[in-house]
């Protein structure tokens, strides 16, 4: 385990909360300190830390890798940040995109045509982990003259039964 300032802060916070709770049960300081010292790691690792992970929106960020993109489509959201921030796909043609990302999963809607356009390619990137998350991450590539002009991330709401 790596000891970071945030870990120390949270451990101190949990220790104080446990100390105050145990202090309401028994007023003997040495016993309160001993029980709090023993209970703090248990409360931290079995209650506080899991709840923090459930309700926070932290997720891993990875560098783009074509093999990982193809093999694990549910984890594509981890690579999306680099694709968008570094503009890795801007300026590439459709053949290059097919090699990197594969065939488009669906075509985007074009209001001018009032139909799906083959100039807007969409890819599913999976769901970011977290409690109560029903938003599917998606990525849309827009082409002009067979070259990627823009990348747009968006979310689709999914209904689970």
Per-residue model confidence as pLDDT tens digits over 83-141? 888 888 899 999 999 999 999 999 998 888 888 888 999 999 888 877 777 888 899 99
Closest among 7, 82, 86 to 41, alpha carbons compared: 7
Residue pLDDT, tens place only, 35-49: 888 888 888 888 888
| Separation CA 43–CA 149 (nearest Å) | 51
Give which of 116, 75, 69 is closest to 89, Cα–Cα: 69
pTM (2 decimals)?
Answer: 0.66
Distance (Å, whole) CA 148 – CA 142? 6
Please check whether residue 116 is in contact with residue 106, taking contact to mean a CB–CB distance below 8 angstroms.
Answer: yes
Catalogue all structural domains in the chain, each as residue range(s) with its CATH number: 5-55 (no CATH), 66-157 (3.30.1450.10)
């Amino acid at each position: 385990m790596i000891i970071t300032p945030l870990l120390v802060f949270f451990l101190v916070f949990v220790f104080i909360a446990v100390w105050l709770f145990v202090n309401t049960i028994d007023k003997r300081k040495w016993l309160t300190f001993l029980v709090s010292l023993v209970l703090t790691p248990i409360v931290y690792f079995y209650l506080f830390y899991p709840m923090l992970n459930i309700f926070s929106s932290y997720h891993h960020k990875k560098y783009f890798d074509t093999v990982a993109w193809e093999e694990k489509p549910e984890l594509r959201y981890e690579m999306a940040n680099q694709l968008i921030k570094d503009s890795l796909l801007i300026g590439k043609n459709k053949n290059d995109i097919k090699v990197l990302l594969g065939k488009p999963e669906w075509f985007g809607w074009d209001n001018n045509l009032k139909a799906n356009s083959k100039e807007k390619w969409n890819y599913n990137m999976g769901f970011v982990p977290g409690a109560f998350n029903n938003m599917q991450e998606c990525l849309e590539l827009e082409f002009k003259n067979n070259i990627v002009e823009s990348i747009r991330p968006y979310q689709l709401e999914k209904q689970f039964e």
